[in-house]
Structure 1
Amino acid sequence: MTPSQISTSAVSGRRTQLPTSNKPQPHQWARRLAEAGVRRYSGLVVLAVLIVVFGVWTPLFLTHTTLISILNAQTLTAILAIAVLFPLAAGVFDLAAAQNLGSTALLVAYLMTNGHMGVSLAIFCGLSFGLAVGLLNGFLVAVMGFDSFIATLGVSSILLGTTVQLSKGSYVGPVPESFQRLTSSSPLGIPVITYYLAVVVVVAWYVLEHTPLGRRLCATGANREAARLAGVPTGRYIFTTMVVSGVGASIAGILLSSQTVSISADIGPAYLLPAYAAAFLGSTQIKPGRFNIWGTILALAMLGTGVAGLQLVGGGALYIGNYFNGGALIVAVGAAIVLKKRGDRKRRLAQMKAQASAPPPLAENPRSATAAINNQEAE
């Protein structure tokens, strides 16, 4: 189409769609789908490589004992990671979650051993404690407007001091056998806490992916100001995520108390780094650029496999887990930043292309303009 034809079409008041030649060809679509699949599911490849490497490296790796060890080590971390995933999806942090876990574990053990409280009532008190911590965090962040990083870090320090004071710096326990049975069984050869985790995963996945609450949380985390202008009560949703995180951390703490039998005051902080490493690494998988449940579970599988394999070949050194989780967190945060910048760049390019391909404004029809002038002169 020549420039004169475009001009004639505009004058006559009709729009003519310009031919486009930048549509992806079939082979381009295949390549794009393959690239998207590699980005979304690269963790599965890494997990398979880790299994093969450690399986060849040491015969102790590909055993049922190692699998059970990984499940026992990662289940509580997974529950905590899912708990902090809700604030992260809304764009805030809950750094008190790990100490909340540890404080709940010690509180429940203390109530049953020193307070001679029944198991059911002690569990209820533990859940109530986690709820109270979540309400406090929500009040500080969503109502008072404190920075979530600073507020929850301060709450974590207060919880640690309270826990040390309650325990007087010593172990609390052992808890009653009736409480230990909460986590000691293994239906079908799988630890029962793995089944608890499965329930938590399904519920959290459904809430985040298939409810208005989850969609509005993600909208708040993506652009809080835009979500607020769109009518989303962002403060209310941030408050809710803090409460969810507090209760989720207390659930993990109750299970930890049952599993560990005797609890120390400083047991909680060790779970903070692995939980956040899994959450950030998970944001690069399945749904890159978004905190999501299945990506987090895949990340936990990679981290658990890597730590277990390195400990087997390294003689069981406990410091290996700190090295591996710390390195994974740095890599995950770096990858998340790169993905965010890439996504922002793609959105800007798409906007520029849309503006460039928009049709020029239509010229006014000369006949209608002349008729309007004649009518004005006649009046």
Structure 2
Amino acid sequence: MTVEPATRPIAPPAASRPDARPPAGARLRRWLSPRNASAVYLFALLFVVFAVWEPDTFLTLQTWRLLLDSQAVTGLVAVGLIVSLSAGVIDLAIGSEAGIGGILVAWFLARQGLPIPLAILLSLLAGAAVGVVLTLLIVRARVPSMIGTLAISSILIAMIDWISGSQQILDLGPSFQKIGTDELFGVTYPVYVLAAVSLIVWYFLDRTAVGRRIYATGGNVEAARLAGVRTSRMILLATVTCGVIVAMAGVLASSQLATGDPTITQSYLLPAFAAAFLGSTQFRGGRFNVAGTLMAVAVLAVGVKGLQLGGAPIWLPDLFDGVALIAAIGFAQYQKAPTARTAAIRRTLRLRGRERRPDLETATNETAPN
């Protein structure tokens, strides 16, 4: 009786394993490709253009400090928005949510005489309450998110006008103003708030199981529900988080202005959406993400500031943001669609080929070496 020696299965090469990571050089080339990081190259292009066009004003430290300070609030609104968008909720009320946060903190301070910490806390709770109401409309009443948030936006605008009497609320006190204007190492506090919130949101969405469930809910709510994800809770968590962050942005805006301004409600809507959708095309291949959104905020801010320094008309920033939003959504769809369509077409062709040529497949199987 002959015993054959035992043989060990030969493992496939590392490059052919499905779980093998590509080499570092390949990953770097992919990360730096224009398709994946186009905003970085656009930022560099805008920087060079405006540096040549307006070198005396664009390249000054004061201009960049003002640019950084002014975009901290917009960046917060955009970061809050991507949490909502990641769960599939298109929140058209973010401008009004920022406005209600800003006007409430002013009303609590100037009209009610509350201490600053309590006034800020109550304003943030109001933002959370807006998120709860939105969830009830979307999940319980089955109202589409665009319609529900648009209705909530109109209601919040009415509340802002009622609370403020359609007038600015003044006399907020110098201590509250310091929150938005005081500096640490030459950078104002709102910038540090933006950095801290962005880091928390990035970790929450990209490094936790709850964040993955939120992405799954936004990708396909029915599939996520069938997979065991409690989608209602994910939508609630996303909208409440968005409401709190955006209300915080409104509080900082009132602190920077030293007044409660009822007219700021829509000034953050278009830039935040443009930044969120442009950011979704960066670094993560069509997924809303913090790094891409902040990069998009920087690109849009540099573009608008450069045009203003060049003497562009006052209406040009709105035009710039609108064009950027259309381009961002189009590019995001371009990134997502071809891969899915190509894969579907290939599957269809393979299936049809097997149906039409069963004799060829049989002959191939019979003649294949064993």
TM-score normalized by structure 1? 0.83
Kept in 1, the 8 Å contact 2:31–2:283? The answer is no
The answer to whether the Cα contact below 8 Å between 2:254 and 2:261 also exists between their aligned partners in 1 is no
> Whole-Å Cα distance in 2 between the matches of residues 275 and 248 of structure 1?
13
* Matched-pair contact (CA < 8 Å) for 1:142–1:236: no
CA apart distance, 1:131: 1.2
Q: What displacement does 1:310 show?
A: 0.4
**Hey, what does 2:171 align to over in structure 1?**
174
Q: Which of 298, 323, 326 is residue 322 of structure 2 equivalent to? A: 326
Q: Size of the alignment, in residue pairs? A: 335
Aligned pairs (5 A) from 1:1-379 = 33=29, 37-59=33-55, 60-314=57-311, 317-349=313-345, 351=347
Shift of 1:32: 12
Identity of aligned residues (%): 39
Q: Is the 8 A contact 1:280 1:333 kept in 2?
A: yes
Aligned partner of residue 37 in structure 2, secondary structure: helix
Distance 1:66 1:35 in 2: 30
Moved over 3 A (4+): 29-36, 349-357
Aligned pair in 2 of structure 1 residues 285, 35: CA closer, same or farther (>3 Å)? Answer: closer
From the superposition, tell whether residues 258 and 61 of structure 1 become closer, same or farther in structure 2 (CA, over 3 Å): same
| Equivalent position of 2:368 in the other structure | none
> CA 1:223 to 1:351, structure 2 compared with 1: closer, same or farther past 3 Å?
farther
How far apart, CA to CA, are the structure 2 residues paired with 1:52 and 1:346?
38
Single out whichever of 267-276 and 217-226 deviates more from structure 2. 217-226
Distance across 2 between alignment mates of 1:35 and 1:222? 23
Q: 1:211 to 1:280 in 2, by over 3 A?
A: same
How far, CA to CA, are the matches of 2:27 and 2:152 in structure 1? 49
Shift of 1:204: 0.4
CA–CA separation in structure 2 for the residues paired with 1:329 and 1:63: 29
- Cα 1:194/1:30, change in 2 over 3 Å: closer
Structure 1 residue runs of 5 or longer lacking an equivalent are 1-25, 362-379
Aligned-residue Cα RMSD (Å) equals 2.7
Q: Structure 2: which 5+ residue stretches go unaligned? A: 1-21, 355-360, 363-370
Deviations 1:308-333 (A, max 9, x none): 10000016x43221111111001111
User: How far apart, in 2, do the equivalents of 1:331 and 1:198 lie?
Assistant: 27
Q: How far apart in 2 are the matches of 1:350 and 1:199?
A: 45
Give deviations 1:214-233, integer Å, cap 9, x for gaps. Answer: 11111111122211111111
CA distance in 2, matches of 1:113, 1:106: 10
Instruction: Judge conservation of contact 1:96–1:155 (CA < 8 Å) in 2.
Output: yes
Which whole-Å deviations, capped at 9, do the CAs of 1:249-299 have from their partners, x for residues lacking one? 111111111111122212111100000000001111111211111110110
Amino acid at match of 1:97: I
CA contact (8 A) 2:30 2:36 kept: no
Q: Which residue of 2 aligns with 1:376?
A: none
SS in 1 for 2:36: helix
Q: TM-score, normalised by structure 2?
A: 0.84
From the superposition, tell whether residues 128 and 35 of structure 1 become closer, same or farther in structure 2 (CA, over 3 Å).
Answer: closer
C-alpha deviations, 1:115-149, integer Å up to 9, x for none?
Answer: 12211111111111111111111111122211110
